Each structure stands twice: as C-alpha cells, then as structure tokens.
Amino acid sequence: MDTMQRLMLTQAEPQRMDLGANQEDSYEAENLLQKKIWLPKLVYDCLPYFYLTAGFAALFATLYIREWFWILPHYLLFSAACLHLGFAIRARRAKTGGSA
C-alpha cells in the first residue's frame, strides 16, 4: 500500500457521534406534543365553529380574488384544512357525547 491509500483509509474510519443533544431535543419535543392543554369551556365549545367559519370565509374569499392568482391554492388548502378540522371535531364530539 502506498502512502496515499493509507492516508485515505485512516481518514475514512468511522467516527462516533455524540447524539445526546439530539436525542434530548427529540425527547423534549415528544413530551411537548403529548402534553394535554387546558382551554376555557367557551373556547373549547366554539372551536369547531371557529374552524368552520374560517374555512367557509377562506373558501368564499377565493371568489373575490381578481389579481393575485398565485394565492388561490393557499386559500383553498387553508379552507379545506379548516373545514376538515371543524367537521371532524364536531363529528367526534357528537360520537363521544361532547367529551372529545
């Protein structure tokens, strides 16, 4: 083996990485996503109606956009997401008796 090959082999050896910080960050993110949040009863009860209102407002706003056509898909995606969330929350609450 010549000198260049030995040099390449020594630099290509696998190094151990410290994943402690990354694993700690992912653990904190998982805990944050699994935390239950408390909402006031009025906000909790109005949440599906807020989503439905925002979805229908965004959907009807697309009818009045005359110039910025690049924004139409964003409005439609937002309205679809809001309508889906609103109907899903209402259906789940109706199915479980209002406790979802």
Tens of pLDDT, residue by residue over 1-46, are 566 666 555 555 555 555 565 666 666 666 666 777 788 899 889 9
Backbone φ/ψ region at 97: left (φ over 0), alpha (ψ -120 to 50), beta: left
| Cα(82)–Cα(76) distance, integer angstroms | 10
pLDDT of residue 54: 95
Domain of residue 83, residue span: 38-100
Residue 43 lies in a domain: yes
Residue 80 lies in a domain: yes
- In angstroms, how far is the first alpha carbon of the chain from the final one? 69
Model confidence pLDDT, tens digit, residues 56-87: 999 999 888 888 888 888 999 999 999 999 99
Residue 75 lies in a domain: yes
pLDDT of residue 24: 61
Residue 11 lies in a domain: no
Total number of domains constituting the chain: 1
Residue 16 lies in a domain: no
Residue 3 lies in a domain: no
The token duo for 25 is 């960050």
Residue 27 lies in a domain: no
Average pLDDT over residues 48-58: 95
